[in-house]
């Protein structure tokens, strides 16, 4: 029975909302192919390009990925098939492809393992990445219609125009093969196709096809404040093309997404967040971006980069990392700056449509008048226990004392390994409590900003900030036992420790 017939049968006994939810669930199941040990080999071979998620029902990361995987499957229907294998029910297939940690994503071409999926794990990221896995490395273009259809895309396009027999074309194709997972490539050797996008011809001379490469920005990001394409005319090589794309790709004010945020945030970056959605609301999305670009065109030469973003994609970050209450509905954009050093600033004045409030915010930023935003718990009024409590507001004052060595544990209250370490760390602090030159401290890294220089990717993480080298903290990598941490401190400290009131010998 199909869903329509089922709905008619159940009408009146099942709420409409429940039927719609069921329809969505059934649709997701049809879009994501479920494969098992018996049929994997022959069903996988039926698809030119297949993305398979090897998962386990109990895996929390698998459950988190599942909705995005299903959305991507729906959007890729007809071009790329997505499938999943339950490794608890189909151990032979999973073992054969090395699936021991979940979820494992692999790309298959005509049933042959083409390697692990290395793209983002969001619906948009999966769609974008998998579209690069289909078709040739660089699409051949023969007509102006081909060209316009290719560049009229949501993402940027890199197109090479070459005379027949050009020595640059092989290098261009080599670059496309290496970079296709990140960018879209096309090429043409048609003599009449590249002319309008090349350099101006000599005065009075004919328009001839020259070897050149053009980066076309997406039409959705077109603006009167910058050109829609960028021309590259240097000798073609993989390295030169890579640099050209890196320097030209984003333009004056790119669209920051969860997929490109790491590449954009290597610079001092001002980001304007609002209800940006080029698919559902292109007019509103362009309206605010144009106002940002008008200001950016004046201030970007001073070393600050600009971007716009969908605030819903970064909601938790805005609330937790910038202290912005985003639960209140507002159509006005919010603005933040985050520098390469991790310094954060927020614009508290309401965003004005003429851009004047943004200009005032930037003037204060460049004048050094803005106060940095620091996510911090309250500084404790009483802090006399053997393990000193640090918060972001007090970190520099305590840890960077010139005459004190400081041992810091960064922890999460929800981390079971941190809870297991607590009695060990407390015993260590008690033994060193009477040492006048050493502080044993801890900081909740989920409720406070971690200072620059401390790389905290997991919990617990322990660092030692010795006298004279506060800017070069030393990470503790040993076992989590009192005796081993003491050996580490004796090795790294320039002064003898005082254990239980007794000074040790160096």
Q: What does the pLDDT look like over 160-184, one tens digit per residue?
A: 999 888 889 999 999 998 888 788 9
Q: How far apart are CA 442 and CA 413, in angstroms?
A: 11
pLDDT at position 200: 45
Backbone angles phi, psi at 415, to 5 degrees: -80, 120
Residue 101 CA to residue 89 CA, distance in Å, equals 15
Per DSSP, the three-state class of 88 is coil
Could you give the count of Cα atoms lying within 13 Å of 312 in the half-sphere of its Cβ? 6
If you average pLDDT over residues 391-399, what whole number do you get? Answer: 93
Predicted confidence band of residue 328 (pLDDT cuts 50, 70, 90): low
Q: Could you give the CA distance from residue 407 to residue 488 in angstroms, rounded to a whole number?
A: 11
pLDDT at position 194 is: 65
CA 39 to chain CA centroid, nearest Å:
36
pLDDT at 356 (0 to 100): 95
pLDDT band at 209 (very low <50, low <70, confident <90, very high): low
- So what's the pLDDT on residue 195? 64
d(CA 194, CA 202): 16
Asked if the model's pLDDT at residue 495 lies above 50, the reply is yes
pLDDT digits (tens, 9 = 90+) for 407-452: 999 999 999 999 999 999 999 999 999 999 999 999 999 999 998 8
The yes-or-no verdict on residue 146 having pLDDT over 60 is yes
Model's pTM, two decimal places?
0.68
pLDDT in tens, 342-391: 899 999 999 999 999 999 999 999 999 999 999 999 999 999 999 999 99
Using CA atoms, how far residue 266 sits from 113, 284, 421, in Å, is: 34, 28, 35
Of all residues in the chain, what percent carry a pLDDT higher than 90? 65
Task: Please identify every residue annotated as catalytic.
Answer: 59, 62, 415, 418
pLDDT in tens, 235-245: 899 999 999 99
Neighbours of 443 (CB within 10 A): 27
Q: What is the pLDDT, as a whole number, of residue 27?
A: 44
Q: What are the pLDDT digits (tens) for 72-122?
A: 999 998 889 999 999 999 999 999 999 988 999 999 988 999 888 988 899
Alpha-carbon distance values, 300 to 215, 296, 343, 481 (Å): 21, 5, 18, 51
pLDDT digits (tens, 9 = 90+) for 28-74: 447 999 999 999 999 999 998 999 999 999 888 999 999 999 999 99
pLDDT score of 8: 42
User: Which pLDDT does position 198 carry in this prediction?
Assistant: 55
pLDDT computed for residue 14 by the predictor:
46
Which residues is 155 bridged to in the sheet? Answer: none
CB-neighbour burial class of residue 445 (10 A; exposed 0-12, middle 13-18, buried 19+) = buried
Residue predicted with more confidence, 260 or 208: 260
Q: If pLDDT is split at 50, 70 and 90, which confidence band does 330 have?
A: low
Looking at the predicted structure, is the pLDDT value of residue 4 above 60? no
Task: Give yes or no for residue 488 having a pLDDT over 50.
Answer: yes
Per the listing, tokens 């803005």 go with 370
């Amino acid at each position: 029975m199909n869903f329509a017939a089922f709905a008619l049968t159940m009408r009146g006994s099942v709420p409409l909302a429940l039927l719609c939810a069921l329809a969505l669930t059934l649709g997701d199941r049809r879009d994501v192919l479920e494969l098992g040990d018996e049929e994997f080999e022959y069903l996988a071979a039926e698809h030119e390009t297949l993305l398979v998620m090897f998962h386990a029902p109990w895996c929390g990361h698998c459950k988190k990925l599942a909705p995005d995987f299903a959305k991507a499957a729906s959007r890729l229907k007809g071009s790329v098939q997505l499938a999943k294998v339950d490794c608890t029910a189909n151990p032979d297939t999973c073992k054969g492809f090395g699936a021991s940690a979940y979820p494992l994503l692999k790309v298959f071409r005509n049933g042959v393992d083409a390697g692990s999926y290395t793209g983002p794990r969001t619906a948009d990221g999966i769609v974008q990445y998998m579209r690069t896995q289909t078709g040739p490395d660089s699409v051949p273009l023969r007509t102006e219609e081909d060209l316009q259809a290719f560049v009229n895309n949501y993402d940027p396009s890199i197109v090479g125009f070459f005379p027949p027999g050009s020595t640059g074309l092989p290098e261009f194709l080599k670059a496309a093969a290496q970079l296709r997972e990140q960018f879209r490539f096309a090429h043409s050797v048609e003599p009449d196709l590249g002319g309008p996008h090349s350099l101006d011809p000599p005065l009075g001379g004919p328009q001839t096809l020259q070897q050149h490469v053009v980066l076309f920005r997406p039409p959705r990001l077109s603006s009167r404040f910058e050109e829609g394409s960028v021309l590259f005319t240097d000798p073609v090589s993989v390295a030169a093309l890579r640099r050209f794309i890196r320097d030209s790709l984003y333009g004056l004010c790119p669209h920051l997404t969860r997929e490109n945020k790491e590449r954009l945030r290597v610079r001092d970056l001002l980001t304007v967040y609002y209800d940006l959605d080029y698919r559902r609301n292109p007019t509103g999305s362009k309206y605010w971006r144009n106002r940002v670009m008008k200001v950016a065109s004046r201030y970007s030469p001073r070393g600050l980069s600009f971007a716009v973003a969908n605030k819903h994609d970064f909601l938790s970050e805005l609330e937790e990392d910038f202290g912005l209450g985003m639960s209140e509905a507002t159509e006005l954009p919010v603005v933040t700056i985050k520098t390469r050093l991790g310094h954060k600033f927020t614009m508290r004045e309401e965003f004005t449509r003429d851009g004047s409030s943004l200009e005032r915010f930037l003037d204060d930023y460049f004048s050094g008048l803005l106060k940095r935003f620091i996510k911090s718990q309250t500084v404790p009024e009483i802090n006399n226990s053997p393990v000193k409590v640090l918060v972001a507001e007090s970190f520099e004052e305590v840890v960077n004392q010139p005459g004190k060595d400081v041992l810091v544990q960064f922890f999460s209250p929800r981390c079971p390994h941190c809870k297991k370490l607590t009695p060990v760390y407390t015993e260590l602090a008690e033994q060193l409590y009477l040492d006048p030159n050493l502080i044993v401290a801890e900081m909740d890294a989920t409720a406070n900003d971690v200072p620059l220089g401390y790389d905290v990717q997991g919990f617990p993480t322990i660092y030692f900030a010795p006298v004279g080298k506060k800017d070069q903290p030393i990470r503790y990598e040993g076992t989590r036992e009192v005796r081993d941490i003491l050996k580490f401190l004796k090795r790294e400290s320039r002064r003898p420790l005082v254990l239980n009131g007794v000074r040790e010998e160096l």
